[in-house]
Amino acid sequence: MTQTLASLALMTLRQLREVASEVGVSLYSRKSKEELLEAISTRKETSKRNLKAIEAEMGPAKRPAAFTNVVFLPRDPQWAYVFWEISDVDRAQAIAAGATQLCLRVADVTGLNGGSSHPHTLQEVVVNSHATEWYLPVPMSDRDYRVELGYRTAMNASGGGWISLAFSSVARVPALHPSEQILDQFVPFSLDTPPAAMPGAPQAPASTPTDTGLHERLYQTATSQFRRLGRGSEAFHELEAAGLDTSELNASGAGLWASGRNESGVGGVASRQRSFWLVADAELIVYGATDPSARLTIGGEVVPLSADGTFRVQVPFRDGEQLYPIEAVAADGVQKRNITLQFNRITPEDNSNPADKAIAEWF
C-alpha cells in the first residue's frame, strides 16, 4: 500500500466520502470503506496518467527570442556596471565569422554628437564569453561615456577584426569632487551700500544673522600685510579716504583738458560737451564646509556655519594681495584642519569713473 493509501486508510468513512466527492467518484455514499479506498486510488492514478499525457503533448515552453543589447550604468565616479544580452542568432553569426573574444569598448564622447568619440580615449576590455555582466573601471570622472559590445576575430594576414553587436546609451559619470559652480543671483551692487538696500537684491532668510561687519574685517585682516597704494579705481578710493581732492581728475588721471582742446574748439568746428562714466569691480567668494559642530575661523575671525556645516563669505577683491588662513577645530578641541588661500589681483588698465565724478568733456 502506497503512502497515499496508508493515509487514506486512517480516515473515517465520512472523511473518505468527502475525498471521493472531491475526486469525482460516483455513488460514493453507497460504497463501503474498502470500496472507497480502491475507487479513490484508481481515480488518482488515472488523473496522474492523464496529466502526464497532456504535458507530453504540449512539449517544452518556447523561450522568447533574445534581443542583443548592452546597458552602461555608472555606479560611482570610479566604477561602472555593464550588463548585456546576446541573441542566439547574433552569437551564431559571430562565431561563424571567426569570433574569438567577447569584448567591451569604452569610448569618451563628452561634448560630441553623431556617434564619434575623442581620439586615443577608446579602451577595450576582454570579458568572459558566457558572462552577461561586468564591472568596468572609469578612465576619468565627470565625463560622458558609451559602451560598445562586440567580438574580436581571429588574427590573419591583415590582422584581427571586429564584429560590433550593440551600443549602449550615453551616460554621464559623476564628478569625484563637489562641483565648483555656484548659482549666484547677481544684482546691481555697491561696496558702500548695504546689500539689503540694493534694488532687486534677494532677501536673506529670517534665520540668517544680520551683517556684523565680518566681511570687511576679513578683508582688512587679509590685506594688512600687503597694504599699499592701489592702482586704477582703488587709487580713487584711497585718495578720497585720505581727504585729497580728486575733482580735477578724470578717468585717465589727467586734468580737465586732457584732450588738448579748449572751450573755443579747434579749426572753427563747433565743439560739443558731454560727460560719460563707467564703474566695474570684483568681489571674492570664499566658501567650503566642515562638521556642523566645529568652530571655523578665517584670519582669526569666527565665521558662522550653516546647519549643514557649510560657510560662504563674500569680500571685496581689490588690487593687491589677500591672504585667508582658514582653520576648523572640532567640538572636542583635539582635531584640527586648516588651509591658507592667497589671491592677487592686478588691474593693468583702468579708465573708469563713478557717475558722480563724471566730468564734462569737449570733443
Query: Where are the chain's structural domains?
Result: 3-58, 69-172, 195-362
Residue 18 pLDDT level (bands cut at 50, 70, 90)? confident
Higher pLDDT, 70 or 23: 70
Residue 125 in this model has a pLDDT that exceeds 70 = yes
At residue 23, does pLDDT exceed 70?
yes
80-89, 154-163, 293-302: lowest mean pLDDT where? 154-163
Q: Which residue has the higher pLDDT, 122 or 183?
A: 122
Q: Comparing 179 with 70, which gets the higher pLDDT? A: 70
Q: Residue 337: pLDDT band by 50, 70, 90 thresholds?
A: very high
Instruction: Grade residue 216 by pLDDT with cuts at 50, 70 and 90.
Output: confident
* Reduced 3-state DSSP string for the chain: CCHHHHHHHCCCHHHHHHHHHHHCCCCHHHCCHHHHHHHHHHHHHHHHHHHHHHHHHHCCCCCCCCCCEEEEEECCCCEEEEEEECCHHHHHHHHHCCEEEEEEEEEECCCCCCCCCCCCCCEEEEECCCCCEEEEECCCCCCEEEEEEEEEECCCCCCCCEEEEEECCCEECCCCCCCCCCCCCCCCCCCCCCHHHCCCCCCCCCCCCCCCCHHHHHHHHHHHHHCCCCCCHHHHHHHHHCCCCCCCCCCCCCCCCCCCCCCCCCCCCCCCEECCCECCCCEEEEEEECCCCCEEEECCEECCCCCCCEEEEEEECCCEEEEEEEEEECCCCCCEEEEEEEEEECCCCCCCECHHHCCCEEC
| Position 341 pLDDT exceeds 90 | yes
Lowest average pLDDT, out of 44-58, 139-153, 333-347, goes to 44-58
pLDDT-derived band at 231, boundaries 50, 70, 90: very low
Is residue 344 scored above 50 in pLDDT? yes
Determine the pLDDT at residue 31.
Answer: 81
Banded pLDDT at 288 (limits 50, 70, 90): very high
Mean pLDDT of 47-62: 69
pTM over 0.75: no
- The pLDDT confidence band at residue 63, using thresholds 50, 70 and 90, is low
Q: What is the mean pLDDT of the chain?
A: 76
- For residue 83, pLDDT over 80 is answered with yes
Asked if residue 332 has pLDDT above 80, the reply is yes
What is the topology classification, in CATH, of domain 69-172? Immunoglobulin-like (2.60.40)
What share of the chain has pLDDT > 70, as a percent? 68
Lowest mean pLDDT among 52-61, 74-83, 122-131, 214-223: 52-61
